[in-house]
Structure 1
Amino acid sequence: MQNQVVSREEWLEARRALLLQEKEATHLRDKVNAARMAMPWVRVDKDYMFDTPDGRKSLSDLFDGRSQLLVYHFMLGPEWQAGCPGCSFLSDHVDGTLAHLNNHDVTWVAVSRAELPRIEAYKKRMDWKFPWASSFGSDFNFDYHVSFTPEDLASETVTYNFEAIPPANAHDELPGVSAFYKNDAGDIFHTYSSYARGLEEMVGTLMILDRAPKGRNEDSTMSFVKRHDEYAPETAKSCCH
């Protein structure tokens, strides 16, 4: 791989042209963020319960004394032996943000349908610190369209990322993030959810790779990603040669 080689003057001209597009993208991101903040909310009236290392907790308890809650729908089903590599990739970025999020009145928690012992074992393997709860036996994952029953997957379509898709394009578990707000009266509101490639901006490594000469250098979306303890040192040095 090698792009066209030009003079410094020609490079500067091309870079300034790209800068205009980058600024346009930044302004568009600001506009999208403002629209996101202006989204209407929906009250959460259903009682959801979760298993945590500190015992059974309600959705309200997961806020941990804060008014904002971000739930990462982590793909780890009841029969899975390990967490999804893509979800693991995103989750590698979380621990360092926790102090900043908590200080900003935001609690982050991962939620999976696997039972708690399986979650705890995988969390220990990955050496993560963020809170992680089990929704096993709850409707939570199904209500937020990130888990699907065998009957769902045998139907004509399933709903994911706010649209009907063929079950062949789905799985029993899929990723997403959902945001919730709790007011002083204890009322909980669902404010936002995002799925599929809508999660990419939460993955700092992808944003960094986008600035590298070869970019993401992938055959398909995140095809290069493994769990962080599965990379062979010699492969990491020479995989792109």
Structure 2
Amino acid sequence: MTANIPHPVVTRDRWIAERKTLLAQEKQLTQARDRLAEARRALPWVRLEQDYVFDTAHGPRRLSELFQGRRQLLVQHFMFGPGWEQGCKSCSFMADHLDGMAAHLAHRDIALLAVSRAPLAELLAFKARMGWRFDWASSNGNDFNRDFHVSFAPEDRKDGEVYYNFHMTPFPKDEAPGISIFYKDDAGDVFHTYSTFGRGVEVMMGTYNLVDLTPKGRDEAGLAYTMEWVRHHDRYEDAPAGAACCGGAKA
């Protein structure tokens, strides 16, 4: 059992008064988020000159063929490099939210796709272990990850920094997380409309929105984006027996 959290205790009237003050701040944030979403939709687009070919469970497919009959495609740049024993735990935390959202997003003309640089066989084995249903494609044979600055070759590093999140920055790994949005028009042309990286990927982490409502919150050190408490969902200490259906991966 966890220890109690020291905290002020007040009357109901005092609580209501302070809650109303916080409510005003929350409304300001909601309105600011609405304005930000409008500005995001107003961004200009970039036409893709290359129709990348991916390895998928249905054979080689071009990016333009992965929209599942829809105009919009949301891609999770999932950190999973060739030869890794398992996918990144934080990217897995993100991906845990996808299947529940898929039907709702489909009715907003949005298809979902995870993309990683690991070979397809490695992705599918991990997908089976985690029990996921969303589509996952391998970019192992193309430059998609490097072009969108979520995979880094040695020559991409300059003085220990790589181009990530739209600026040069230190990044310790060869793979990075992100989300990118694409649109396909009637002519079949594909446009890049938006990408977000770093803590911007929290938009996919609905669990955090609920955790942030609670007294303990994320229970992370300071303001750092540590996610130290997060595990693969079959690697928590109280995970049900047999949750790891494929085995072989280390925590």
Aligned to 1:48: 52
TM value normalised by structure 1: 0.93
Contact 2:183–2:193 (8 Å) recurs in 1: yes
Post-superposition shift, 1:150? 2.1
The reply to whether residue 81 of structure 1 matches residue 85 of structure 2 is: yes
Once the two structures are overlaid, the 10-residue window that deviates more, 8-17 or 119-128, is: 8-17
Matched ranges for 1:55-70 at <5 A = 55-70=59-74
Unaligned stretches of 5+ in structure 2? 240-251
Counterpart CA distance in 2 for 1:34 and 1:232 is: 42
Counterpart CA distance in 2 for 1:134 and 1:121 is: 13
Once the two structures are overlaid, the 10-residue window that deviates more, 145-154 or 105-114, is: 145-154
Post-superposition shift, 1:47? 2.7
Post-superposition shift, 1:155? 4.2
In the alignment, which of 2, 14, 31 is matched to residue 6 of structure 2? 2
Aligned to 1:105: 109
Contact 2:51–2:64 (8 Å) recurs in 1: no
Post-superposition shift, 1:170? 3.6
Counterpart CA distance in 2 for 1:150 and 1:209 is: 38
Unaligned stretches of 5+ in structure 1? 235-241
Counterpart CA distance in 2 for 1:170 and 1:50 is: 26
Counterpart CA distance in 2 for 1:145 and 1:187 is: 22
Post-superposition shift, 1:157? 2.5
The reply to whether residue 187 of structure 1 matches residue 189 of structure 2 is: yes
**Equivalences, count:** 232
Counterpart CA distance in 2 for 1:101 and 1:205 is: 18
Post-superposition shift, 1:5? 1.3
Aligned to 2:137: 133
* Residue deviations 1:159-206 (CA, integer Å, cap 9, x gap): 11111112xx34100000000000001111000000010011221110
Counterpart CA distance in 1 for 2:160 and 2:173 is: 14
Matched ranges for 1:91-170 at <5 A = 91-153=95-157, 155-166=159-170, 169-170=171-172
Contact 1:63–1:107 (8 Å) recurs in 2: yes
**Could you tell me the percent identity over the aligned residues?**
53
Q: Determine helix, strand or coil for the equivalent of 1:76.
A: coil
Once the two structures are overlaid, the 10-residue window that deviates more, 209-218 or 121-130, is: 209-218
Counterpart CA distance in 2 for 1:49 and 1:155 is: 32
Q: Determine helix, strand or coil for the equivalent of 1:31.
A: helix
